[in-house]
Amino acid sequence: MNTISSNIKKIALSLLVVGLAVGFSAFKPETNKLRAGDYMFYNRTQNIHNSDLTKYVFRSTPSCNVSGVVCTEIWNIGSQTPPTDGKELSSYTIAPTYVGSVVAGTYNGL
């Protein structure tokens, strides 16, 4: 009888540990997914997170050369109108928020 009770406790403890492991892994942040309002802008300088928003431009097609420090960065423009080719970050009335995710390379100006 004591063995059965001990085995039930072990099973219950195991289920609890597994449940906690699964529960915490379900809340792991997803770093590779873009959120609503996140867009990749091309950095016309080689300065990561440049504070001059006129130095960032949107392109719908890839425009990076392989070598260089920074080519693109992700910025969040919120619920403002999505960017079109050639639109600068500085043109938004509400200041965009820097998200990060730097991609190495050099903007080739296309």
Please tell me which residue, 38 or 109, carries the higher pLDDT value.
38
From residue 44, give the alpha-carbon distance in Å to each of 8, 20, 55, 81, 98.
Answer: 64, 47, 5, 22, 16
Torsion angle of the four alpha carbons 33, 36, 42, 43, in this order, in degrees rounded to the nearest 10: -90
Please tell me which residue, 1 or 44, carries the higher pLDDT value.
44
| Its pTM surpasses 0.85 | no
pLDDT at 75: 94
Average pLDDT over residues 82-99: 93
Sorting pLDDT into bands at 50, 70 and 90, what band is 32? low
pLDDT at 22: 55
Average pLDDT over residues 84-97: 93
pLDDT at 29: 47
Sorting pLDDT into bands at 50, 70 and 90, what band is 17? low
